[in-house]
Chain A
Amino acid sequence: MGAYIIRRLIAMAGMLVTLSVIVFLLFSVLPADPARLVCGKSCTPSIIKAINHKFGYDQPLAVQYKEFVQGIFVGRTYGEGKAAFDCHVPCLGYSFLRNEDVTTLIKDTLPITAQLALGGFVLWILVGVSIGIVAALKRGKWQDRTIMGAALVGYSFPSFFIALLLIFFVQIKFAVLGFHSYTSFFDSPAEWFKALVLPWIAVAMLYAAFYSRLTRNQMLETLGEDYIRTARAKGLRERTVIGKHGLRAGLTPIVTAAGLDLAGLLGGALIIEQVFALPGLGRLSVDSVTTSDLPVITGTVMVAAFFIILANLVVDLLYAVIDPRVRLA
């Protein structure tokens, strides 16, 4: 197991390096004129040159990449003379548009995305898995049909439409919930909850539909397996059969999907954050794209990719724990 983990970690590092190179190459085609963006109304070629020099954009791509990597592991210094400043480890770059370290920007926004993702995650797993089990147990009956029908309907809602509908009905039409902007839990738990409850529901609605279908199908499949029949024949209680044997074996794909979806969300819930105006990582990404804030785009893409790769690893490890049949190949 230990050797397996180490092997996987090395592979993961390799992936990250590959990814960072690709991201760098991909974004090098973006109009490389970040200086013009910050230069302002009275801009001259010499100012542009000086700004480009300061941020290293006058260097060849390979050198820029080297500096980027160096920044992550040993930090780097921008500017010269008295205006020089350090960007500390892990330095993912410096946003000339926002005058802020990319690392700081991500540190500020990631917790909000994490709260959104985790809250939504808990909701969708609870709802999705439990109604999926109900559907499986009532296979073919009206409960099953209703749940599966509803799930398919939920699954077919484009994410932004669901979010907009929630805002329309809950906040505007029936005004059940006022308008709340994100507040830290420690400042005001009530405000915090009110600001996040709709986004959570929106996320949960999007995913629960899929998870109920997945759970149901998994359950049906495992319940048909021989060992379940054996367990039943042994006279085990139905609850034990379903809970211990059925669900556990059927859990693997659910864990896989859940891990990957959670990781995807952690990388930024672009649309949900946009619609609900949550200052998370997704909002940061979209904003940096619309303002061509290259260092931030690179940083957020790397972070998002990191989560996905990490989730893959974790999921594979969990596999081994949950389902002993999986070989550590």
Chain B
Amino acid sequence: MGKAKIGLRSAAVVSLAAMALAACGGGSSGGSSGKSGNTPAGQPVKGGTLTMLSLNQEFTDLDPQRAYTGEDIAFLNAYMTRSLTAFKVSRDPKEQGTLVPDMATDTGTPANGGKDWSFTLRDGMKWEDGSPVTCEDVKYGVSRTFATDVITGGPTYAIQYLDIPSAKDGSSVYKGPYTTKGNDTAAYDKAVVCEGNKITFHLAKPVGDFNYTVTLGMGAVPKAADTAEKYTKKIVSNGPYKIQAYTKGNQMVLVRNENWSKDSDSYRPAYPDKIVVKFGLDQSVIDQRMIRDSGADQQAFMRESLLSSDLATVFNDPRYESRRVTNFSPYVIYRVINVEKVPDLKQRQAIAVAMDRAQLRQILGGKFAGDIADGVIKPNLAQDYAPSGMWTGLLGKTIPDSGDPEYAKQLIKDSGKPMPTITYSYSQNPDADKGAASIKSSLEKAGMKVKLNPIEASAYYTTIFDKSRATELMANGWGPDWPNASTVIPPLFTLKGGWDVGLVNDKAYNEKVAAALSETDRAKQATMWQDLNKEAMQQAWVVPTLFENDQRLAGSKVKSASGQNGQLYIGGSAGNWPYNDMYVQK
């Protein structure tokens, strides 16, 4: 929420960033060179300077407890902030979801039916000042999450999962490391225990995939160097690189961290000597620089996505074949229907049926933009995805991509009630304006009255989460935190989940979600998510419109050791670059 920086004019990126917010994934990366690539034609080489071009003004957060943008987490994890476990670096989508050890010696040991999780730390890990990385550093890092008024905006799984009692107002009795007033530090010390090199987390309930959770917001922080609020701008590295210079809005320079040793890290090959991030560039300029691929830009790559306007240039020309990448982004784009404002099922279905999804996709770049969506679980969540059948009969009929206004009229008539005026709220940018115009005209074709309510990007989520200002129809987007629909279905369709924009609160559904969450058989759990996805679509709580694609372009000398023939790719649940093993070809 509010984590995405909003550029004024880079509409394509805004649509993604503003809509999607914090999707999280762990670090991409991993695996030493060539392991997963069959024929590593380009042998990875050490040295050189890798440059990343970004339209953002700065990293929103460097703080391991606060970073909550998938791409940033991947970058930071690959270079500076290690986590207990990490995601395997591989171009194979199935392998991208598997865990490998990072700071820990293995991927964690559950006990007590999944209520206790322990990790043993590796030897020889050091901070950039030469002091050792200890179990206490991890414990201290995790404790910072509890200081909710200081460490803002980050993942809060630690608060949700750890076995620490709640105070009367629902907040945890532990308030983080910065305050002593009315703070139950003992409760935390009981929940997170260090014994030598072994850290144990005691959870309130069994969590089958807690070793995935530790990839998110649970990095170590040395207590002596913690500057609380300000730590997020100047962190201490325990990875292979450290910050040499950082001017917000301009650039960040990372150089080798001499205190990091390969022996203490089997996850990071650390090829380049230097990594430079250039901030605050215009996306159209970034696109042009990458397209041109001249001089130093050959060793550069873009952080965000190509503008939709440049896709035709890049993807219709074989010259770019070895430098361009395309893949699903983590995000599903959908429109939320407020169930309190449109309580009637038939009327909600009418909205879904009337919408011209083809046109909405056309506005974002046609076939490049992505695939027409049929649910909130995306095919790149491989295990949990199954076609929901939303457009092929679930709503009573096959609905063409361009919508079916006649059938929508029929549904409204069948509802037997007058259709409310639909006010469509969206975060404003040029593409979203066009989309809004399209929604207005397609719903009007089905006889509905439509008002448009554009909202300034920064105020968007504040507005739609305010019940008094929420409207009938609202734009939204979501991506999973890690490869499990447990980070999709519960947040979107249960009030407790935190992202239930449409105010769905269905008792039977809540119970099914709870059952799926505590299911430990992953295959069984996947089927449950598939059914819940289908049910949500049948209920028309949301109208999914696009399984969004992400297209990027890199300089000709930027390669990835795990890519096919060294070619770059994007992947993982955050759809990020394989920062970990990217290198500069000589």
Q: Chain A: residues with CB nearer than 8 A to chain B?
A: 31, 33, 36-44, 46-47, 50-51, 53-54, 78-83, 85, 96-100, 105, 108-109, 171-172, 175, 178-179, 181-182, 274-275, 277, 279, 283-284, 286-287, 290-292
Given A79-B150, A85-B227, A108-B248, verify A40-B2 contact (CB < 8 Å): yes
Contacts of B156 in A (CB 8 A): 40-42
A36 touches B227 (CB 8 A): no
Task: Tell me, rounded to whole Å, the shortest Cβ–Cβ distance linking A285 to chain B.
Answer: 12
Determine whether B378 belongs to the interface, using a CB cutoff of 8 Å to chain A.
Answer: no
A290 touches B8 (CB 8 A): yes
Inter-chain pairs besides A40-B153, A41-B499, A80-B179, 9 sampled, C-beta below 8 Å: A39-B152, A41-B1, A42-B159, A42-B160, A47-B148, A79-B178, A98-B58, A99-B232, A181-B251
A83 touches B68 (CB 8 A): no
Given A39-B152, A41-B499, A286-B8, verify A85-B229 contact (CB < 8 Å): yes
Determine whether B462 belongs to the interface, using a CB cutoff of 8 Å to chain A.
Answer: yes
Task: Report the separation of the CA atoms of residues A181 and B281 in the bound assembly, to the nearest whole angstrom.
Answer: 7
Determine whether B154 belongs to the interface, using a CB cutoff of 8 Å to chain A.
Answer: yes
Query: Chain A: which residue is nearest B61 at the CB level?
Result: A99
Contacts of A179 in B (CB 8 A): 285, 288-289
Among the listed A39, A85, A279, which residue makes an inter-chain contact with B230, where contact means beta carbons less than 8 Å apart? Answer: A85
Task: Tell me, rounded to whole Å, the shortest Cβ–Cβ distance linking B150 to chain A.
Answer: 5
Task: Report the separation of the CA atoms of residues A125 and B457 in the bound assembly, to the nearest whole angstrom.
Answer: 40
Task: Report the separation of the CA atoms of residues A5 and B233 in the bound assembly, to the nearest whole angstrom.
Answer: 43
Task: Tell me, rounded to whole Å, the shortest Cβ–Cβ distance linking B299 to chain A.
Answer: 15
B229 touches A79 (CB 8 A): yes
A38 touches B179 (CB 8 A): no
Given A38-B153, A46-B171, A98-B248, verify A83-B178 contact (CB < 8 Å): yes
A46 touches B179 (CB 8 A): no
A277 touches B154 (CB 8 A): no
Task: Tell me, rounded to whole Å, the shortest Cβ–Cβ distance linking B155 to chain A.
Answer: 8
Task: Report the separation of the CA atoms of residues A122 and B5 in the bound assembly, to the nearest whole angstrom.
Answer: 35
Contacts of A99 in B (CB 8 A): 229-230, 232-233
Among the listed A38, A81, A275, which residue makes an inter-chain contact with B181, where contact means beta carbons less than 8 Å apart? Answer: A81
Among the listed A53, A105, A290, which residue makes an inter-chain contact with B149, where contact means beta carbons less than 8 Å apart? Answer: A53
Given A37-B458, A40-B2, A50-B149, verify A277-B169 contact (CB < 8 Å): no
Task: Report the separation of the CA atoms of residues A44 and B495 in the bound assembly, to the nearest whole angstrom.
Answer: 12
Q: Which 10 pairs between the two chains have the least Cβ-Cβ distance?
A: A279-B249, A50-B149, A83-B178, A40-B153, A83-B228, A81-B179, A42-B156, A82-B178, A291-B458, A47-B148
Task: Tell me, rounded to whole Å, the shortest Cβ–Cβ distance linking A282 to chain B.
Answer: 12
Given A54-B149, A81-B180, A98-B58, verify A43-B6 contact (CB < 8 Å): no
Query: Chain B: which residue is nearest A94 at the CB level?
Result: B229
Task: Tell me, rounded to whole Å, the shortest Cβ–Cβ distance linking A154 to chain B.
Answer: 24
Query: Chain B: which residue is nearest A273 at the CB level?
Result: B280
B228 touches A279 (CB 8 A): no
Task: Report the separation of the CA atoms of residues A211 and B278 in the bound assembly, to the nearest whole angstrom.
Answer: 37
A40 touches B179 (CB 8 A): no
Task: Report the separation of the CA atoms of residues A82 and B288 in the bound assembly, to the nearest whole angstrom.
Answer: 47
Contacts of B9 in A (CB 8 A): 274
Contacts of A98 in B (CB 8 A): 58, 248
Among the listed A31, A41, A108, A291, which residue makes an inter-chain contact with B247, where contact means beta carbons less than 8 Å apart? Answer: A108
Task: Tell me, rounded to whole Å, the shortest Cβ–Cβ distance linking A198 to chain B.
Answer: 12
A44, A172, A175, A274: most-surrounded residue (chain B CB, <10 A): A44
Given A39-B153, A46-B171, A277-B282, verify A81-B178 contact (CB < 8 Å): yes
A100 touches B177 (CB 8 A): no
Query: Chain B: which residue is nearest A39 at the CB level?
Result: B152
Query: Chain B: which residue is nearest A80 at the CB level?
Result: B179
Determine whether B32 belongs to the interface, using a CB cutoff of 8 Å to chain A.
Answer: no
Given A54-B149, A98-B248, verify A37-B178 contact (CB < 8 Å): no
Contacts of A53 in B (CB 8 A): 149
A82, A98, A292: most-surrounded residue (chain B CB, <10 A): A82
A31 touches B229 (CB 8 A): no
Task: Tell me, rounded to whole Å, the shortest Cβ–Cβ distance linking B4 to chain A.
Answer: 10
A47 touches B8 (CB 8 A): no
B498 touches A41 (CB 8 A): yes
Contacts of B247 in A (CB 8 A): 108
B152 touches A40 (CB 8 A): yes
- Give B154-176 as 1s and 0s: 1 = Cβ < 8 Å from A's Cβ atoms: 11100110000000011100000
Task: Report the separation of the CA atoms of residues A49 and B340 in the bound assembly, to the nearest whole angstrom.
Answer: 27
Determine whether B147 belongs to the interface, using a CB cutoff of 8 Å to chain A.
Answer: yes
A277 touches B285 (CB 8 A): yes
B457 touches A290 (CB 8 A): yes
Task: Report the separation of the CA atoms of residues A104 and B278 in the bound assembly, to the nearest whole angstrom.
Answer: 20
Task: Report the separation of the CA atoms of residues A55 and B159 in the bound assembly, to the nearest whole angstrom.
Answer: 23
Task: Report the separation of the CA atoms of residues A82 and B231 in the bound assembly, to the nearest whole angstrom.
Answer: 13
Task: Report the separation of the CA atoms of residues A85 and B458 in the bound assembly, to the nearest whole angstrom.
Answer: 27
B228 touches A37 (CB 8 A): no
B249 touches A109 (CB 8 A): yes
Task: Report the separation of the CA atoms of residues A42 and B3 in the bound assembly, to the nearest whole angstrom.
Answer: 12
Determine whether B456 belongs to the interface, using a CB cutoff of 8 Å to chain A.
Answer: yes
Determine whether B22 belongs to the interface, using a CB cutoff of 8 Å to chain A.
Answer: yes
Contacts of B523 in A (CB 8 A): none
Determine whether B279 belongs to the interface, using a CB cutoff of 8 Å to chain A.
Answer: yes
Task: Report the separation of the CA atoms of residues A279 and B249 in the bound assembly, to the nearest whole angstrom.
Answer: 6
Among the listed B152, B178, B232, which residue makes an inter-chain contact with A51, where contact means beta carbons less than 8 Å apart? Answer: B152
Among the listed B6, B22, B278, which residue makes an inter-chain contact with A40, where contact means beta carbons less than 8 Å apart? Answer: B22
A38 touches B180 (CB 8 A): no
Determine whether B186 belongs to the interface, using a CB cutoff of 8 Å to chain A.
Answer: no
Task: Report the separation of the CA atoms of residues A83 and B183 in the bound assembly, to the nearest whole angstrom.
Answer: 14
Task: Report the separation of the CA atoms of residues A132 and B482 in the bound assembly, to the nearest whole angstrom.
Answer: 66
Contacts of B282 in A (CB 8 A): 275, 277
Contacts of B289 in A (CB 8 A): 178-179
A37 touches B462 (CB 8 A): yes
Contacts of A100 in B (CB 8 A): 233, 248
Among the listed B155, B229, B279, which residue makes an inter-chain contact with A83, where contact means beta carbons less than 8 Å apart? Answer: B229
Determine whether B196 belongs to the interface, using a CB cutoff of 8 Å to chain A.
Answer: no
Given A38-B2, A279-B280, A292-B456, verify A46-B170 contact (CB < 8 Å): yes
